[in-house]
Structure 1
Amino acid sequence: MGRVIRILALAVAAVVGPLAAAQAQRIPVVRDAEIETSIHRMLTPIFRAAGLTPEAVSIFLVQDDGVNAFVAGGQNIFVNTGLIIEARNADELMGVLAHETGHIAGGHLVRGQEMMERSKLIATIGSLLGAAAGAAAGRGDAAMAGAFTAQDMVRQNMVNFTRGIESSADQAGLRFLAQAGIPADGMLSFLKRMQDAELAHPRGSDYSRTHPLTADRIEAVQEAVDKSALRGGPVPPGYDDQFARMRAKLIGFTQPETVGRVYPASDTSLPAQYARAIGAYRRNVFADALGQTDALIKAEPRNPYFLELRGQILLETGRLAEARPYYERALALLPGEPQLLIPLAQTKIDRGSDAELRSAIRDLERASVDPETTLPIVWRLLGTAYGKTGDMGKASLALAEDNLARGDLPNARAQVARALQLLPRGSPGWRRAQDLQREAEDKPG
């Protein structure tokens, strides 16, 4: 799994799109409609308290066992799978993500970029002054001293800035939690656990490295919790169940060998059944996985994610025709969900008839409305489907999108050139190819 990056490292995402930026920096973003939707639903009251438009904030999962979350590219929150697994309850997860919302509301990414630019200027000026002083004195050590002094100043400025925005995000998060009626006990317990981890391991945890912890921060949160009328109270209805399901799902997918220990057979709760079904699937015990998934569907026939799971097991074991009705039933419950449209299109492409291919293309085009958040597999499937229908211009355009998203610039440029030759001049596809050509030319490599 990839490692965590610092809170300001994805500022470029504002320009090129969060998924493309994450991919360029080798951040393993994974998509899961259930978890993204659950987190977004739980955070909506917090977003509103922060004065944000909930629909404008996106949630992305990072497949990383490090305990961390960060913001990037404006209003995008990246949540490590390790954070969800390590959190003890919905309260702790909401505490962490209220803090991240504080970064968004406070414009900390923009301020961070400005601080870095100022720091570069200070370092440059310091080096130049040191060089000038050394030249005047005829001493090279004076120039080196000037450079080191400038670097020390930059380093201390960045430390002070980072500590300041972390404290500011804490205070904002506390306000948002209070306005949303969510107790802040989880923020406090999480910070204390991260502080304990930092003391136990001198290098610190992923969270403490990217969110510097200080005694003052924890004392301030403790004081706010002590004064809160919500202290010790419950989270809003449904939060604990949603959290338990997403945690069970992630443990099943990312740590299948631990499922039996974390969720023994004596645990008959629905999240435990969910984890065991997924764990069986991940361990290639497909008969058990399908049987346990059937039991989940029987318990909640209108749960689209249980239907999706059965479709996924069938699809990935080559039983595409059997998978299709499960995706169709799930889509009937979640109309237009891209992460359901994509596998459904796969089952149609496999059938290969003109009607099925045209239907698959419609599904994939619906799943690619926003190029900035479209998964590369959509472009690959579109390229395949268009190619099978004989529309080589659109096939080349789709493959250009795919190659560019994956950073394969030589093939992206070749496919763009082919698309420009084949597509009608002035058509929407031709204009998009021109955009891609400029983007490919602007990238180094």
Structure 2
Amino acid sequence: MVAFLPAGSFAMMSIEKEKELGRRLLEEIRTQVEFVDDQEVVQYVQSAGEKILKLIPDPLYQYRFFVIKDEGVNAFAIPGGFVFVHSGLLEVVDSDDEFICVLAHEIGHVEGRHIARRIERLKRLNIASVAAILAGVFLGKGKAGSAILATTSALNASIGLKYSREDEEEADRRAFQWLCKAGYNPMGLVTVLQKMQRMRWLGTDAIPSYLSTHPGTAERITYLEDLIKTSNCHVKFHRASRELRRVQVRISVFTKDPYLLIGRYKTALKDSPGDEYLQYGLCLAYLEAREFNNAINELNALIKGHPKRLEYKKDLGVAYYLKGDYGQAIDVLNNYLKSNSKDLTARLYLGKSLLAVSRPKEALKSIKDVYYALDEDPRIAFDLGRSLAALHQEGEAHYYFYQFYRWKGQLDAASYHKRMAIRLLPKDSQLLRKIGESRDESDENNNQDPISPGGSRGSGLGSSYEVVHSKKF
């Protein structure tokens, strides 16, 4: 058994206060960054995190994972169980081991309550100020954090919020235990740290935020290597899984100019005509450029060349949906789901396609299953609300629109839908009880009379649904 370092003797903030700080910090981060909302990417990260969380007897929080669209090789976790991964990190890892090791380390910081240990020295500041400061610390010098650091960098240097070497060792030791139990190779954390050091020596700007908030890199590498040598951890070498390779291609396409990528992929395929992932990247680049027929032709070629790679049939169904050929999308996705019923991306796009052809009852079942499979992920709530609105279940529709706009940080829209949900939901509704149990920034507007955007009283899903909810997210 590996001993953990003792916590500080001073009183720490309560778990509830940590949750509040986490929510405020999430709002602060959301104003500064763009998230990658691709379902397959998010699901890969969430699944990797859950492999660690299931080994923790009683996690402090219900964890949620986010991918920030930023080339920095960075990851961080904040109080309340929110874990953030920069897209740049996903692009440079060479195996699932490396990525899961980073997540385990960040979860170790949260479970060790390292920010809470240090927050006592900030008692003179309110939660909002602390949230802004922490956002600047974690987002660092890259594009994602520059706006915050412009106003808080001097304060960051004086308050000592960054992790100590003791914090780093405790997080590493926690992660080491979990990784060994899960059968992953803790050496992955060493190899990631070595990559970061090499990139720093080469002078790239993509690195500083992680290394500046996680000190003692050289010492960490040494004691982790010693720990691995002296432990009874049975490690395995994992190559990059197909899921990781797909995610890396998707990240590359979704964070770069698709028109430039089309040219690059075509050129690369001339030298390596059989490269499956170059072909896949070209398909995705065509989709991002809205060249749907080219994308569909390339996907059909991939399916023909790799008949056992059933996931390309899912991609084909999504391509038909994006093209607006909803009947074809439904046929392809239904056929794919016969042998891949747990694929949440396919089920989500099946629901979207069913909704587009006015089959809201079937759409609701498919989308609702995805929503709850992802622990009530608010990113799915928009389509859930659309399905309920089409079925004239106005109170529930407003509740899910409220959840979605709250997540987006669009507080006026969130406040409106919250008021309408309170007005229209039955008094004994479980959703109404959930609203009563939560308070957020949209509450300040809740004393306004719930009037629909058109100015008339009613369900509020008339012009609001047609105008606001017609956007593609």
Query: Is TM more than 0.5 here?
Result: yes
CA distance in 2, matches of 1:344, 1:16: 37
CA distance in 2, matches of 1:122, 1:427: 39
Identify the residue that residue 81 of structure 1 maps to in structure 2.
87
Gap regions ≥5 residues in structure 2: 1-15, 127-153, 448-473
Identify the residue that residue 197 of structure 1 maps to in structure 2.
199
Structure 2 vs 1, CA of residues 102 and 382 (structure 1 numbering), >3 Å: closer, same or farther? closer
Tell me the CA shift for residue 386 of structure 1.
3.6
Aligned with 2:77: secondary structure? strand
Equivalent residue for 2:67, pick from 54, 61, 64: 61
Indicate if the aligned counterparts of 1:167 and 1:217 stay in contact, CA closer than 8 A.
yes
2:277 counterpart of 1:271: yes
Equivalent residue for 1:260, pick from 261, 265, 276: 265
Tell me the CA shift for residue 40 of structure 1.
5.9
Equivalent residue for 1:424, pick from 397, 413, 426: 426
Letter in 2 for 1:85: E
Structure 2 vs 1, CA of residues 174 and 389 (structure 1 numbering), >3 Å: closer, same or farther? closer
Tell me the CA shift for residue 85 of structure 1.
0.7
Identify the residue that residue 170 of structure 2 maps to in structure 1.
168
Indicate if the aligned counterparts of 2:347 and 2:370 stay in contact, CA closer than 8 A.
yes
CA distance in 2, matches of 1:177, 1:14: 26
Tell me the CA shift for residue 333 of structure 1.
3.8
Superposed counterparts of 1:365-380, under 5 Å:
365-369=368-372, 373-376=376-379, 378-380=380-382
Tell me the CA shift for residue 281 of structure 1.
2.4
Aligned with 1:268: secondary structure? coil
CA distance in 1, matches of 2:298, 2:64: 32
Letter in 1 for 2:293: A
Identify the residue that residue 123 of structure 2 maps to in structure 1.
120
1:133-191 CA distance string (max 9 Å, x none) = xxxxxxxxxxxxxxxxxx999947545x5332123223443444455454444432321
Structure 2 vs 1, CA of residues 226 and 296 (structure 1 numbering), >3 Å: closer, same or farther? same
Structure 2 vs 1, CA of residues 331 and 178 (structure 1 numbering), >3 Å: closer, same or farther? same
Superposed counterparts of 1:269-348, under 5 Å:
269-298=275-304, 303=309, 305-335=311-341, 337-348=343-354
2:446 counterpart of 1:440: no
Indicate if the aligned counterparts of 2:114 and 2:167 stay in contact, CA closer than 8 A.
no
Identify the residue that residue 362 of structure 1 maps to in structure 2.
365
Aligned with 2:362: secondary structure? helix
Tell me the CA shift for residue 57 of structure 1.
5.7
CA distance in 1, matches of 2:105, 2:161: 20
CA distance in 1, matches of 2:175, 2:75: 14
Indicate if the aligned counterparts of 2:180 and 2:186 stay in contact, CA closer than 8 A.
yes
Segment of structure 1 superposing worse, 34-43 or 301-310: 34-43
Equivalent residue for 1:216, pick from 215, 219, 244: 219
CA distance in 1, matches of 2:49, 2:373: 23
CA distance in 2, matches of 1:412, 1:122: 28
Structure 2 vs 1, CA of residues 172 and 100 (structure 1 numbering), >3 Å: closer, same or farther? same
CA distance in 2, matches of 1:72, 1:111: 9
CA distance in 2, matches of 1:416, 1:182: 44
Indicate if the aligned counterparts of 1:32 and 1:339 stay in contact, CA closer than 8 A.
no
2:248 counterpart of 1:247: yes
Indicate if the aligned counterparts of 1:403 and 1:409 stay in contact, CA closer than 8 A.
yes
CA distance in 2, matches of 1:40, 1:178: 20
| Count of matched residue positions in the alignment of Structure 1 and Structure 2 | 397
Identify the residue that residue 412 of structure 1 maps to in structure 2.
414
Letter in 1 for 2:89: L
Tell me the CA shift for residue 205 of structure 1.
2.3
Q: State, as a whole percentage, how many aligned pairs show the same letter.
A: 21
Indicate if the aligned counterparts of 1:17 and 1:372 stay in contact, CA closer than 8 A.
no
Aligned with 1:29: secondary structure? coil
Aligned with 2:215: secondary structure? coil
Q: CA RMSD in A?
A: 4.4
2:404 counterpart of 1:398: no
Tell me the CA shift for residue 83 of structure 1.
0.6
Aligned with 2:353: secondary structure? helix
CA distance in 2, matches of 1:45, 1:403: 30
CA distance in 2, matches of 1:18, 1:235: 37
Aligned with 1:367: secondary structure? helix
Tell me the CA shift for residue 299 of structure 1.
5.1
Identify the residue that residue 8 of structure 1 maps to in structure 2.
none
Letter in 1 for 2:317: G
Identify the residue that residue 25 of structure 1 maps to in structure 2.
30
1:37-86 CA distance string (max 9 Å, x none) = 55566667655666678x97654433222111222455554322211112
Structure 2 vs 1, CA of residues 23 and 401 (structure 1 numbering), >3 Å: closer, same or farther? farther
1:362-400 CA distance string (max 9 Å, x none) = 333333337964234x44334444444444333333333
CA distance in 2, matches of 1:175, 1:152: 35
Q: Which has the larger radius of gyration?
A: 1
Identify the residue that residue 4 of structure 1 maps to in structure 2.
none
2:72 counterpart of 1:71: no
Indicate if the aligned counterparts of 2:190 and 2:224 stay in contact, CA closer than 8 A.
yes
Superposed counterparts of 1:96-245, under 5 Å:
96-104=102-110, 107-108=111-112, 110-120=113-123, 155=158, 158-159=161-162, 161-201=163-203, 205-224=208-227, 235-236=237-238, 239-245=240-246
Between Structure 1 and Structure 2, the one with more helix by share is: 1
Letter in 2 for 1:329: N
Indicate if the aligned counterparts of 1:13 and 1:20 stay in contact, CA closer than 8 A.
no
Structure 2 vs 1, CA of residues 271 and 74 (structure 1 numbering), >3 Å: closer, same or farther? farther
Gap regions ≥5 residues in structure 1: 1-10, 124-150
Aligned with 1:70: secondary structure? strand
Aligned with 1:235: secondary structure? coil
